[in-house]
C-alpha cells in the first residue's frame, strides 16, 4: 500500500484510506449521469447485503457526516409523539439525546457507567418501567471509550416488548457481525468514512421498507427527510439535491476492496489483530487500556494518560504526529485519557510502528511514569 507522505490516521473517521480509494476520486461525475446513478444503486444493494437485509430492507444514503444520518433516522422514523430510550454510556449516546431534544422527541436519558456495556437486562427493565417508550436508540460500539454494547441483548429486549430499535452502528458496521435476521432492528445508521474505509461525506440508513413507507410527512426537516429521499431515489435513481459524487465514487471502490478482502469476517480479523498488537505493544511501555478486555471493541482503544508531570496531550500528540502517526484525544468526562484507532487501511505493522513512535515520544518528553499510579502500585 503506497500512501505517499500522509501521516497514518489512527482516528476512527476520517481514517487512512488505500491509494486505490483515493484514486477513485480523480474523476468528475454528473449527478444525472446513468453511470453515476448505477454506482449509487450498487452501493445501496451491497450495504443491505452486509446485514442480510434481503428485500425487506433498503438503504437510504444521505449527504453529510454520520450525525446527519442519525438525526435523519430519528426525525423520519420516530413519530412526533414517540418517545426514545437512549442507554447512555458515552459521547455518541449523549449526541442522540441532544438530537431528540432538538427534534422535540421525548427522550429518556438512561445513564450507564462509561466503563459498562448497555445490556438487554438494562433495556428490558427500562421498557417494563415505561410503556410509553416507542423506540430504543442504541449505539453499537460507543466510540467515546471504544465500548462494545450488547446489541443482541438490546434487540431481544425490544422485540419482547414490541418497541422499535434504531442502531447507531457508525463505528461497527462492516467490521463487527450484524445480521438483521438474528438481531432484528428497524433501522441501522452507518457512514462512508468508517469501517468500509471510504472517505467521509455521506451516511446511510438501512431501514425496514414497510416502516419507512408509512413515514411520509413525519420528518421535521426537508433536507433530513429520509422518506422523501427514498421516494425520489426509487423513482429517478438520482439523489435529491447535489450528491457528494467523489465520496460516492470512493465508497464504491472501498466496498470493492472490502469484498475482495473477504467481507466482514476478514475485516474483523484484521482490526482484531491491529487492536491486540496495539494493546500488547502499549502494555510493554506501561500503558493500560481504560476498558476491560471483554467490553473492548477492536475499533478504538482508550488508554489512561501517563500520570507523569511531564505529560501533556498536545505535545504528546504533536511529537507523535511528527513521527507519522495521528492520535485522538480522550472523550471521557472523569479520567485523563487518549485514544488510538485500530480501523482504516492499516495492518499490524502500523500498530507496531505507532508503538515505537509513542516510545520515542515518551523518551523525548522525559516521561518516566507511564502506568496509572494504582496499577503501578499493584505491580510493585
Ligand atoms: C463517527 C460516529 C458518529 C458520527 O460522527 P460524525 O462526526 O458525524 O461522522 C456517530 N456515532 C458513532 C458511534 C460514531 O463513531
Please choose, from the candidates 67, 45, 72, the residue with its C-alpha nearest in 3D space to the C-alpha of residue 58.
45
Query: Domain for residue 4, yes or no?
Result: no
Please choose, from the candidates 202, 184, 179, the residue with its C-alpha nearest in 3D space to the C-alpha of residue 255.
202
Residues 6+ positions from 344 with CB-CB distance below 8 Å: 8, 9, 10, 15, 16, 17, 197
Claim to verify: residue 54 and residue 147 sit in the same structural domain: yes
State pLDDT tens for residues 123-177: 999 999 999 999 999 999 999 999 999 999 999 999 999 999 999 999 999 999 9
Claim to verify: residue 120 and residue 198 sit in the same structural domain: yes
Claim to verify: residue 230 and residue 330 sit in the same structural domain: no
Atom of ligand 1 nearest to the CA of 143: 15
What pLDDT does 373 receive?
Answer: 83
- C-alpha span between 80 and 65 (Å, rounded): 24
User: Mutation test of ligand 1: which of 12, 90, 166, 168 has the most ligand atoms closer than 8 Å to its C-beta?
Assistant: 168
State pLDDT tens for residues 53-70: 999 999 999 999 999 999
Cα dihedral 358, 360, 366, 371 sign? positive
Claim to verify: residue 288 and residue 305 sit in the same structural domain: yes
Claim to verify: residue 256 and residue 313 sit in the same structural domain: no
Q: What's the grid cell of residue 83?
A: 418517545
Q: Is the pLDDT of residue 1 over 70?
A: no
Quickly state the pLDDT bin for 17 (edges 50, 70, 90).
very high
**CATH number of the domain that residue 312 is part of:** 3.90.1150.10
State pLDDT tens for residues 363-372: 999 999 999 8
Our count of domains for the chain comes to: 2
Claim to verify: residue 192 and residue 272 sit in the same structural domain: no
Among protein residues, the one with the nearest Cα to ligand 1's atom 2 is 170
What pLDDT does 251 receive?
Answer: 98
Buried-state track 40-73, b at ≥16 Cβ within 10 A, e below 16: beebbebbbebbebeeebbbbbbbbbbbbbbbbb
Does residue 71 line the site of ligand 1, with CB under 6 A? no
Q: Is the pLDDT of residue 4 over 70?
A: no
Query: Domain for residue 327, yes or no?
Result: yes
Query: Domain for residue 183, yes or no?
Result: yes
Lowest average pLDDT, out of 28-32, 98-102, 374-378, goes to: 374-378
Report the separation in Å between the CA atom of 66 and the middle of ligand 1, taken as the mean of its atom positions.
Answer: 5
- C-alpha span between 343 and 326 (Å, rounded): 13
Quickly state the pLDDT bin for 184 (edges 50, 70, 90).
very high
**CATH number of the domain that residue 117 is part of:** 3.40.640.10
Does residue 201 line the site of ligand 1, with CB under 6 A? no
Query: Domain for residue 8, yes or no?
Result: no
Does residue 21 line the site of ligand 1, with CB under 6 A? no
Q: CB–CB of 200/192 below 8 Å?
A: yes
The partner residues of 142 in beta bridges, in order of sequence, read: 147
Last residue of a domain, one of 243, 260, 277: 260
What pLDDT does 12 receive?
Answer: 87
Last residue of a domain, one of 227, 245, 260: 260
Neighbouring C-beta atoms of residue 193, cutoff 10 Å: 26
State pLDDT tens for residues 280-324: 999 999 999 999 999 999 999 999 999 999 999 999 999 999 999
Claim to verify: residue 187 and residue 244 sit in the same structural domain: yes
Last residue of a domain, one of 234, 260, 286: 260
Does residue 328 line the site of ligand 1, with CB under 6 A? no
Report the separation in Å between the CA atom of 286 and the middle of ligand 1, taken as the mean of its atom positions.
Answer: 30
Atom of ligand 1 nearest to the CA of 68: 8
Claim to verify: residue 359 and residue 215 sit in the same structural domain: no
Does residue 176 line the site of ligand 1, with CB under 6 A? no
Tally: H helices and E strands in the chain:
13, 14
Cα dihedral 65, 66, 71, 74 sign? positive
Claim to verify: residue 226 and residue 240 sit in the same structural domain: yes
Query: Domain for residue 6, yes or no?
Result: no
State pLDDT tens for residues 63-100: 999 999 999 999 999 999 999 999 999 999 999 999 99
What pLDDT does 13 receive?
Answer: 85
Does residue 89 line the site of ligand 1, with CB under 6 A? no
Quickly state the pLDDT bin for 121 (edges 50, 70, 90).
very high
Claim to verify: residue 52 and residue 85 sit in the same structural domain: yes
Claim to verify: residue 188 and residue 295 sit in the same structural domain: no
Q: Is the pLDDT of residue 376 over 60?
A: no
Query: Domain for residue 215, yes or no?
Result: yes
Query: Domain for residue 7, yes or no?
Result: no
Neighbouring C-beta atoms of residue 344, cutoff 10 Å: 24
Report, as an integer, the average pLDDT of 208-218.
Answer: 98
**pTM for the whole structure:** 0.96
User: Mutation test of ligand 1: which of 65, 66, 203 has the most ligand atoms closer than 8 Å to its C-beta?
Assistant: 66
Distance, C-alpha 224 to centroid of its chain? 20
Does residue 67 line the site of ligand 1, with CB under 6 A? yes
- C-alpha span between 299 and 363 (Å, rounded): 27
What pLDDT does 81 receive?
Answer: 98
- DSSP characters over 257-293: HHHHHTHHHHHHHHHHHHHHHHHHHHHHHT--BSS-G
Does residue 171 line the site of ligand 1, with CB under 6 A? yes
Does residue 69 line the site of ligand 1, with CB under 6 A? no
Quickly state the pLDDT bin for 2 (edges 50, 70, 90).
very low
Torsion of CA 349, 275, 317, 320, to 10 degrees: -20
Claim to verify: residue 64 and residue 170 sit in the same structural domain: yes
Tell me the CA distances in angstroms from 74 to 13, 54, 80, 207, 236, one per residue in order. 22, 23, 10, 12, 25
Atom of ligand 1 nearest to the CA of 171: 15
Provide the domain limits for residue 244: 19-260
Among protein residues, the one with the nearest Cα to ligand 1's atom 6 is 66
What pLDDT does 211 receive?
Answer: 98
Query: Domain for residue 14, yes or no?
Result: no
Report the separation in Å between the CA atom of 15 and the middle of ligand 1, taken as the mean of its atom positions.
Answer: 13
Does residue 299 line the site of ligand 1, with CB under 6 A? no
Does residue 65 line the site of ligand 1, with CB under 6 A? yes
Residues 6+ positions from 131 with CB-CB distance below 8 Å: none
Q: CB–CB of 187/73 below 8 Å?
A: yes
The partner residues of 206 in beta bridges, in order of sequence, read: 59, 188
Atom of ligand 1 nearest to the CA of 194: 1
Does residue 139 line the site of ligand 1, with CB under 6 A? yes
For helices 348-365 and 263-285, the axis angle rounded to 10 degrees is: 20
**Across all residues in the chain, what is the average pLDDT?**
96
Report the separation in Å between the CA atom of 170 and the middle of ligand 1, taken as the mean of its atom positions.
Answer: 6
What pLDDT does 377 receive?
Answer: 53
State pLDDT tens for residues 221-259: 999 999 999 999 999 999 999 999 999 999 999 999 999
Amino acid at each position: 500500500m503506497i500512501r505517499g507522505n500522509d501521516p497514518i490516521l489512527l482516528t476512527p473517521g476520517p481514517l487512512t484510506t488505500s491509494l486505490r480509494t483515493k484514486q477513485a476520486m480523480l474523476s468528475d461525475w454528473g449527478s444525472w449521469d446513468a453511470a453515476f446513478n448505477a454506482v449509487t444503486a450498487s452501493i445501496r444493494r451491497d450495504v443491505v447485503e452486509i446485514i442480510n437485509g434481503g428485500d425487506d430492507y433498503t438503504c437510504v444514503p444521505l449527504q453529510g457526516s454520520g450525525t446527519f444520518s442519525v438525526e435523519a433516522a430519528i426525525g423520519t422514523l420516530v413519530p412526533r409523539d414517540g418517545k426514545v430510550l437512549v442507554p447512555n454510556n458515552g459521547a455518541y449516546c449523549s449526541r442522540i439525546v441532544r438530537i431528540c431534544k432538538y427534534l422535540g422527541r421525548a427522550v429518556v436519558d438512561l445513564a450507564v457507567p462509561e466503563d459498562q456495556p448497555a445490556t438487554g437486562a438494562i433495556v428490558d427493565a427500562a421498557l417494563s418501567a415505561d410503556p410509553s417508550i416507542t423506540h430504543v436508540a442504541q449505539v453499537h460500539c460507543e466510540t467515546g471509550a471504544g465500548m462494545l454494547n450488547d446489541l443482541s441483548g438490546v434487540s431481544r429486549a425490544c422485540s419482547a416488548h414490541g418497541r422499535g430499535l434504531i442502531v447507531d452502528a457508525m463505528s461497527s458496521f462492516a467490521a463487527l457481525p450484524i445480521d438483521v435476521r438474528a438481531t432484528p432492528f428497524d433501522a441501522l445508521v452507518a457512514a462512508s468514512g468508517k469501517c468500509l474505509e471510504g472517505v467521509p461525506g455521506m451516511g446511510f440508513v438501512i431501514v425496514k421498507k414497510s416502516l419507512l413507507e408509512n413515514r411520509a410527512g413525519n420528518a421535521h426537516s426537508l433536507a433530513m427527510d429520509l422518506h422523501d429521499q427514498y421516494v425520489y431515489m426509487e423513482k429517478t435513481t438520482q439523489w435529491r439535491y447535489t450528491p457528494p459524487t467523489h465520496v460516492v465514487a470512493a465508497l464504491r471502490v472501498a466496498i470493492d476492496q472490502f469484498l475482495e478482502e473477504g467481507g466482514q469476517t476478514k475485516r474483523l480479523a484484521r482490526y482484531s489483530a491491529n487492536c491486540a498488537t496495539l494493546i500488547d505493544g502499549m502494555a510493554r511501555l506501561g500503558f493500560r487500556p481504560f476498558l476491560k478486555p471483554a467490553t473492548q471493541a477492536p475499533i478504538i482503544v482508550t488508554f489512561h494518560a501517563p500520570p507523569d508531570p511531564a505529560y501533556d496531550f498536545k505535545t504528546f500528540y504533536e511529537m507523535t504526529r511528527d513521527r507519522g502517526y495521528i492520535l485522538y484525544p480522550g472523550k471521557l468526562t472523569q479520567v485523563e485519557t487518549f485514544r488510538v484507532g485500530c480501523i482504516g487501511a492499516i495492518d499490524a505493522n502500523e500498530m507496531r510502528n505507532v508503538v515505537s513512535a509513542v516510545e520515542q515520544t515518551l523518551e523525548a518528553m522525559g516521561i518516566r511514569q507511564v502506568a496509572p499510579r494504582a496499577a503501578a502500585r499493584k505491580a510493585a
